[in-house]
Amino acid sequence: MSIKLKVVLWYALFMLVMMVAVLVFVFCAGTNLGRAQSKEKLIETVEEAVDDMFFAGKKGERKKNKNGSGEEENGKTSEQEIAFHEIETYENDTYIAVYDSDSQLVYGIIPQAIASIDTPAFSHGLLQEIAIGNDRWLFYDYMTETSQYGLLTVRGTTSIINGTDEIKPLLAAAVLIMPVLILLSVTGGYIITKRAFKPVKQINETAERIACENDLSCRIGLGKGNDEIYTLANTFDNMFDRLQEAFENEKQFTSDASHELRTPVSVIISQCEYSIENADTLSEAKEGLKVVLNQATRMSLLISRLLMLARADKGHQKLNIESFDISEIAAMVAEEKKATADKKNIKVKTNIKNSIMIDADETMIMRMLINLIDNAIDYGKEGGSIEIGVTENDAGMIVGYVADDGIGISEKDLPHIWERFYRADKSRTRSAKNGTGLGLAMVKWIVNAHGGSIEVTSKIDEGSTFIFTLPAKNS
């Protein structure tokens, strides 16, 4: 069954159980109330019958004998006139009968249902109950001593079943109304459930459309809402946004990687073909081989970086953590890169504090510094300068920077420079002929993998400054 049908059936079952419970409660409460009322009416009717049976002067003026001395409270004689004909033999659903001391009927009537059975023995002021078939009967006896007839017993008899008469109309109405209420509850439940699950249908349709059409741009688009389904739909939309972004990045990455690899491969092939056809001397062949070597070296670097980033994405790139002097490493890399900087007449300056220890992967930190310095040289100005600095702040963090006075980065490009194969404007692309487009992506991963952070500030034609922060050596 669908969830919608299950919910509707639950509504119906719940309403049915609830209404049956209410009816049972009403019936039980009514029965108990009827029983109590039957008892109260029975006692009241019997006592009224006793009052009507005794006369002293006129009806209603009889005084009950309190002390058994023959004297009434008003001083009149206790001699009493008994008038059976004044008794109502059937009143308030109660049968009245008068018995003498031999338990013989003197006056009144006995219900036909109990006429042929043994009834409870007489007992003054006691309520007694017996069951006959599905009915229950109540008996109440009032016994009094008289001068004319001796001991007389006035017995009242009523059926408890009569006590439920007052709730019978209510029960009948409830039975008639119950189907209507159940139908209304089921209808209301179906409408509410249908509306509640309408977004689920929309979610399903969107998922099927994405699956069938391979269109990750589809969105559920339920809008704002506070319930769980709206929250789920918005979560799915956010997930689709990330999936589409990841998919687009993957396609762009594949396209860029193919482009970056195709260029050196094309150069290698064309240079080999040219050398084979036109190189007449060893010197000409060597020139061709130099071009091939340069392009092969570039391809090797690109493949190495791609492999490292792929391993990093999968969590397979492990760090070999050891303790070393980052100041010494930074100074060594700066010294090695002076030869490359001299080709562009760029001066390399250092501002490195001595003996700063760090727990990190030495190879990765060296690669990070090389990439940052290569980036500064590639985009630096002829005759300009770059500065490499490493220090330690008061918070126990290592702060390093690589600054240049080169062409700078535009504000719109700054958020994207960490993306793989991202190239900013054409002037930056022309300035870095040997770049792979992966250097800064690797730098960011290395810094983040060591629990640090990196940021950049830059202005067009004024230069850029890359600042990284890393945790110092654990004490």
Supply φ then ψ for residue 141, to 5 degrees: -115, 135
Which residue in 11, 80, 50, 56 sits closest to 143, CA to CA?
Answer: 50
Of 390, 392, 412, 397, the closest CA to residue 453 belongs to 397
Q: E strands, 275-336, where?
A: 321-325
> C-alpha dihedral over 377, 380, 385, 386, to 10 degrees?
-50
Look at phi and psi of residue 172 and say left if phi exceeds 0, alpha if psi is from -120 to 50, else beta: alpha
Q: Is the pLDDT of residue 243 over 70?
A: yes
- The per-residue pLDDT for range 80-129, each reduced to its tens digit, is 578 888 888 888 888 999 999 888 998 998 888 888 888 899 999 999 98
Give the per-residue pLDDT at 266. 77
Most confident of 130-139, 167-176, 436-445: 130-139
Please enumerate in sequence order all residues whose Cβ is within 8 A of that of 275, keeping only pairs 6 or more positions apart, or say none: 284, 285, 288, 289
pLDDT value of position 57: 38
Q: Does residue 294 have a pLDDT over 50?
A: yes
pLDDT of residue 133: 77
Which band of pLDDT confidence, cut at 50, 70 and 90, is reported for residue 142? Answer: very high
Helices (H) and strands (E) in the chain, counts: 9, 15
Give first-to-last CA distance, the chain, whole Å. 64
Torsion of CA 274, 280, 286, 292, to 10 degrees: 10
| Domains of the chain from N-terminus onward | 3-65+78-170 (3.30.450), 216-317 (1.10.287.130), 319-471 (3.30.565.10)
Q: Give the pLDDT score at 65.
A: 43
**Gap between the Cα atoms of 195 and 227, Å rounded:** 13
**365: Cβ–Cβ under 8 A, 6 or more apart, which residues?**
326, 329, 358, 446, 450, 470
For residue 137, give the nearest of 145, 128, 146 by alpha carbon: 128
Are 127 and 141 in contact by the 8 Å Cβ rule? The answer is no
Q: How confident is the model at residue 474 (pLDDT cuts 50, 70, 90)?
A: low
Q: Which residues contact 119 (CB under 8 A, 6 or more apart)?
A: 130, 139
What pTM was computed for the model? 0.47
Residue 36: count of CB within 10 angstroms of its CB: 11
Q: How many CA atoms lie within 13 A of 198 on its CB side?
A: 8
Query: What pLDDT is recorded for position 80?
Result: 59
Q: How far is CA 25 from the centre of its chain?
A: 37
Res 59: pLDDT = 41
State residue 196's pLDDT score: 74
Q: What percent of the chain has pLDDT over 70?
A: 81
pLDDT at 72: 39
pLDDT of 187 reads 82
pLDDT of residue 372: 92
The Cα–Cα gap between 308 and 316 comes to 9
Over residues 185-199, the mean pLDDT reads 78
What Å distances lie between residue 48 and 92, 93, 370, CA to CA?
Answer: 11, 14, 117
The single-letter DSSP state of residue 118 is: P
Task: Give the model's confidence band at 288: pLDDT under 50 very low, under 70 low, under 90 confident, else very high.
Answer: confident
Distance CA 375, CA 428 (A): 10
Burial of 131 (0-12, 13-18, 19+ CB in 10 A): exposed
pLDDT in tens, 309-331: 666 666 656 778 889 999 999 99
Binned at pLDDT 50, 70 and 90, residue 167 comes out as low
pLDDT at 186 (0 to 100): 78
pLDDT of 429 strictly over 50: no
The answer to whether residue 439 scores a pLDDT higher than 70 is: yes
Could you tell me the CA-to-CA distances from 394 to 96, 398, 399, 415, 474 in Å, in that order?
Answer: 108, 10, 11, 29, 15
State residue 63's pLDDT score: 43
Long-range Cβ contact pairs of 106-114 (< 8 A, separation 24 or more): 106/149, 106/152, 110/157, 111/137, 111/157, 111/159, 113/137, 113/159, 114/157
Q: Residue 406 and residue 428: Cα distance in Å, rounded?
A: 10
At residue 75, the 3 state secondary structure works out as: coil
Half-sphere exposure of 372 (CA within 13 A, CB side): 32
Q: Quick check: 166 pLDDT over 80? A: no
Q: Highest mean pLDDT range out of 68-72, 73-77, 166-170, 405-409?
A: 405-409
Residue 290 pLDDT: 82
For 324-354, how does the pLDDT look when each residue is reduced to its tens digit (9 = 90+)? 999 999 999 999 999 889 988 999 999 999 9
Residue 11 in 3-state DSSP?
Answer: helix
8-state DSSP, 356: -
pLDDT range class, residue 457, cuts 50, 70, 90? very high
Burial of 433 (0-12, 13-18, 19+ CB in 10 A): exposed
How far apart CA 28 and CA 73 sit, in angstroms, is 45
Residue among 191, 192, 202 nearest 229 (CA): 202
Q: Tell me the pLDDT of the chain averaged across its residues.
A: 79
